[in-house]
Amino acid sequence: MDKQTMVTRGESVPHREEEIKVASKHAVLGNVTQGPWPTHAQKAYFALGCFWGAERFFWQLPGVYSTSVGYMGGFTKNATYEDVCSGKTAHTETVMVVYNQELTDFWTLLESFWIAHNPTQGMKQGNDVGTQYRSAIFWTDDMQKMFAEKSMSLYQDNLNKAGMGKITTEIKKAREFYFAEDAHQQYLHKNPNGYCGLSGTGISF
């Protein structure tokens, strides 16, 4: 099948009963991965290609309290990595970023998001091809939506000036985040020589 075509709900892998369990502590930051969150914690969800490199990119940013990888934007509840790689869940590989809003803010994360990957590639990112690698911002409130849309139009202006293409990033309301299997959490910390295909356009924000 063509992995760059979104499956419909009818074609998607059926739901799974069992939730995927992950470690309660972040392997790098040492903070909790599933709450309870400290007072100034805020959540944001970004998809920018293979989640191994994407997660590492975010846990290294100042003010980030915790990160996790998972699946969002598709149909299949409690999808497994294998389900997602089949291209039949419509999920995209997503990083949940929990940040301290006293130390950073959503706008700063957005700026980092745009320059970290190439948001003009549609249903792929670099060598990774398929709907599971599409770029997305899943907003959690009106304010995030408003700033996400604005940052996209600003970055599009910069790309236009450089003769680059149209941004294909999906900006949608966040739905259920399904944690990926524990082996994928903080993967590049556990596997320092692991694959990372994350690469930006070279155009600044």
Our finding on whether 103 is near other proteins (CB under 8 A) is no
Our finding on whether 150 is near other proteins (CB under 8 A) is yes
Our finding on whether 191 is near other proteins (CB under 8 A) is no
Residue from 30, 142, 193, 202 touching other proteins (CB under 8 A): that is 142
Our finding on whether 113 is near other proteins (CB under 8 A) is no
Q: How far apart are CA 187 and CA 52, in angstroms?
A: 6
Q: Which stretch binds other proteins (CB under 8 A): 60-68, 97-105, 114-122, 123-131?
A: 97-105
| Cβ atoms < 10 Å from Cβ of 69 | 24
Q: How far apart are CA 52 and CA 132, in angstroms?
A: 13
Q: How far apart are CA 99 and CA 42, in angstroms?
A: 5
* Cα-only R_g, the chain: 16
- SS3 at position 52: helix
Which residues are known to be catalytic?
A: 50
Our finding on whether 168 is near other proteins (CB under 8 A) is no
Residues that bind other proteins (CB under 8 A): 42, 101-102, 105-108, 141-143, 146-147, 150-151, 154
